[in-house]
Each structure stands twice: as C-alpha cells, then as structure tokens.
C-alpha cells in the first residue's frame, strides 16, 4: 500500500500523516509513506485544497483532517 500526504508540510499536513501512521500501525498493515510537498506534483491530483490523503493513487480526503475512524475505514476497504 502506498500512502501519500499532499501538502506543503504545515501543521495540518503533519497531523494528517501522524493520524494515518497511527491507523496503519493499529491495523498492522504494511504501507509506504510519501509526503508530497511540491506544488506541481500536488496539482496532478484532483484536489482544490490541502492537506490531502491519497491511498494507492486514490484521493480519499482533501481540505480537512479526517478522524482516525474515517482513515481506518479507508485503509480497511
């Protein structure tokens, strides 16, 4: 599983990454993380605002920090 956090590295982006890492650990799954900070790479995804969470090249959320429960659901599915 490849998980990408899209954003410039602000506090919200870092919080999203922290929550996602906690969810991955809770589920005991293997995942590689990538923090995408370059605007030209972020713009390749269909999002309007950051932070954004991308799982296996599918945008799961953008413009807000989802709950850990939401992240757990996305990672299970």
CA separation, residue 26 to residues 12, 20, 37, 74 (Å): 21, 10, 26, 13
Model pTM score: 0.95
Q: Which of 1, 2, 10, 29 is catalytic?
A: 10
Q: Which fold has domain 2-76?
A: Glutaredoxin (3.40.30)
The CA distance from 61 to 18, in Å, is 15
> pLDDT tens across 59-77, in order?
999 999 999 999 999 999 7
All structural domains of the chain with their residue ranges: 2-76
> pLDDT tens across 15-74, in order?
999 999 999 999 999 999 999 999 999 999 999 999 999 999 999 999 999 999 999 999
Catalytic residue check, 61: no
Q: Which of 5, 6, 13, 72 is catalytic?
A: 13
């Amino acid at each position: 599983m490849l998980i990408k956090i899209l954003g410039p590295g602000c506090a919200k982006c870092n919080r999203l990454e922290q929550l996602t890492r906690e969810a991955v650990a809770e589920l005991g799954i293997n995942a590689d993380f990538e923090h995408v900070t370059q605007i030209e790479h972020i713009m390749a995804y269909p999002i309007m605002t950051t932070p954004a969470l991308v799982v296996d090249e599918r945008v799961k959320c953008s413009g807000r920090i989802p709950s850990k429960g939401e992240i757990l659901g996305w990672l299970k599915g």
